[in-house]
Amino acid sequence: MATRATGTRRRVRATIPHARRLGLRARLITAFALGGLALSALMALISFSLVRQNLVEQHERTATAEAYVNARVVRDTLRGDSTDVAGALDAVQAQPGSTPVLYRDGEWYAATGATIPILLRDEVLAGQPASLRYTSGDDTLLVVGLPLPAVGAAYFEISSFAELEGTLRSLALSLVVAGLVTTVAGAALGAYASRHVLRPLAEVRQAAAAIAGGRLDTRVARVDDADLGALVGSFNDMASALQERIESDNRFASDVSHELRSPLTTLAAAVEVLEGQRDELPERARAALDLLRDDIGRFTAMVDGLLEISRFDAGAAHLALDEVDIAELVRQSVTANSDEPVPVILGPGASGCIVDVDKRRFVQVMANLLDNARKYAGGATRVTVEVNGVMVRIGVEDSGPGISPDERERVFERFSRAHREARSRGMSDGVGLGLSLVRGHVELHGGRVWVEDRPDGEPGARFVIELASVLRGLPDEPEPDLGPAAVPASEVES
């Protein structure tokens, strides 16, 4: 048990990453989107850096040139009247956002409060013109310092980058929006491209589903793409090989069945001859004759069934359709194939409902379902005919042990496991092809057949056949007389 539990855990761990992995289409879209994002981010970064560098240099050139002009004004003013420092600053026509500052004789003069960074101050007071970009509060400032040895002073001019920073923020926002638009456009391009690229894969998937559904001649149209063309070619080759193999198997089964039919006929005739002289046979020989007769009958039924299935597989089965009153045909089929009376319950609109069916095949379907109920569930308890829109459902119910949900699809397989087990327990003398033939006949009519629990919740199973009705046969017509075994649902006590 411990080993099995460990194995289960390993399987779970191995499958989780698969479940989280994106599909091919999603991965293509994501790749295009991320590619667009990366490209736009790179372009935005380069554009922003170049523009910012250009604007900052331009701002600095302008501010420095203005500082030169204003420093000359201050120098010239102080040369004329060396004591009027305030007048010298007033003579400066600074741009809005600029602050002139003058240092002379150990004193600082400014129209408004201003701070000069110490590093720059020391550099300028030592006689070296210099500039510095620095942050003061939320603002980035540029200060240009010029020594004025002619008047024993130093001139500083502080200008703000606030306007430029606003411009850069707007530019950054625009680039971010452009990046998002590019990302979305990349995803859209990826969706468009993946739809076109993956179209052949979708066709392969549809073709595979069609082949799995029995249409073995389905193929995928050739594509020009070298890579996908190889895939399509390989798929078509595989489908051809599969079709050939299956048809070969079907031919083999058909040929074997045909070959067995002749000796079986001979054997059956010989048994008939022996049956005619049964009274002359000793007791043990009569018992052996009974066994031989039963096995030949079962063998003949199996060969007939295999031949019918071979015709289904080969697509050689053809319908001889007639418009029939389905309720009447059901009633006749039940009467002909039941040892004991089985009630036929007609739902609203079922009487007179017309369905295009092959009578021989439909009677065979009903016979097989009733035979199945007799062999495995002690016989059918009732048969229902219900009209649901344009569809007609015929249900055959029994009161046997029922069929578990896991087995409900398998019981329609040829020689199904459920049949083999029942046979090994002596519960059945069938050949295991009855329900498979039912499905073949019903699907040949374009209908469906399935098995479910009984609708009244009682133990047992209910086999349901669904066929399309002919619209003109629906309820407006007067209801015909019901036969002795046909009872409307409204008249049945629950």
Partner 1 sequence: MTRRRLRKALVGAALVVALANCGVPTDSEPRRIDSEQVPFGLLEDPNNQN
Nearer to partner 1, 140 or 236 (CB): 140
Nearer to partner 1, 162 or 181 (CB): 162
Nearer to partner 1, 139 or 456 (CB): 139
Q: Encoding tokens for residue 197? A: 């690229």
DSSP states along 319-341? --EEEEEHHHHHHHHHHHH-SS-
Q: How near is the Cβ of 156 to partner 1 at its closest, in Å?
A: 12
Torsional class of 33: left (φ above 0), alpha (ψ -120 to 50), beta (otherwise): alpha
Among 47, 64, 99, 218, binds partner 1 (CB under 8 A): 64
Among 156, 161, 235, 376, binds partner 1 (CB under 8 A): 161
Q: How near is the Cβ of 245 to partner 1 at its closest, in Å?
A: 49
Do the strands 344-346 and 486-488 form a parallel or antiparallel pair, or are they unpaired? Answer: parallel
Total residues contacting partner 1 (rule CB under 8 A)?
A: 37
Is 178 a residue that touches partner 1 (CB under 8 A)?
A: no
Q: How near is the Cβ of 103 to partner 1 at its closest, in Å?
A: 14
Among 150, 238, 291, 316, binds partner 1 (CB under 8 A): 150
Indicate the DSSP class of residue 278. Answer: G
**Which sign, positive or negative, has the C-alpha torsion 172, 175, 179, 180?**
positive
Binding mask 108-147 for partner 1 (x = CB under 8 A): ---------x-xx--x---xxxxxxxxx----x---xxxx
How many CB atoms are closer than 10 A to CB 249?
A: 12
Residues numbered 20-59 forming contacts with partner 1, rule: CB under 8 A:
45, 48, 52, 56
Q: How near is the Cβ of 2 to partner 1 at its closest, in Å?
A: 30
- Give the Cα separation of 177 and 169 in Å (integer): 12
Is 304 a residue that touches partner 1 (CB under 8 A)?
A: no
Indicate the DSSP class of residue 478. Answer: P
Candidate ranges 158-166, 252-260, 333-341, 368-376; the one touching partner 1 (CB under 8 A)? 158-166
Candidate ranges 68-76, 236-244, 253-261, 263-271; the one touching partner 1 (CB under 8 A)? 68-76
Q: How near is the Cβ of 96 to partner 1 at its closest, in Å?
A: 18
Is 80 a residue that touches partner 1 (CB under 8 A)?
A: no
Is 281 a residue that touches partner 1 (CB under 8 A)?
A: no
Rg value, the chain, Cα: 48
- Give the Cα separation of 195 and 202 in Å (integer): 9
Do the strands 448-453 and 391-398 form a parallel or antiparallel pair, or are they unpaired? Answer: unpaired
Q: How near is the Cβ of 376 to partner 1 at its closest, in Å?
A: 57
Residues that bind partner 1 (CB under 8 A): 45, 48, 52, 56, 64, 68-69, 71-72, 75, 117, 119-120, 123, 127-135, 140, 144-150, 161, 164-165, 168-169, 172
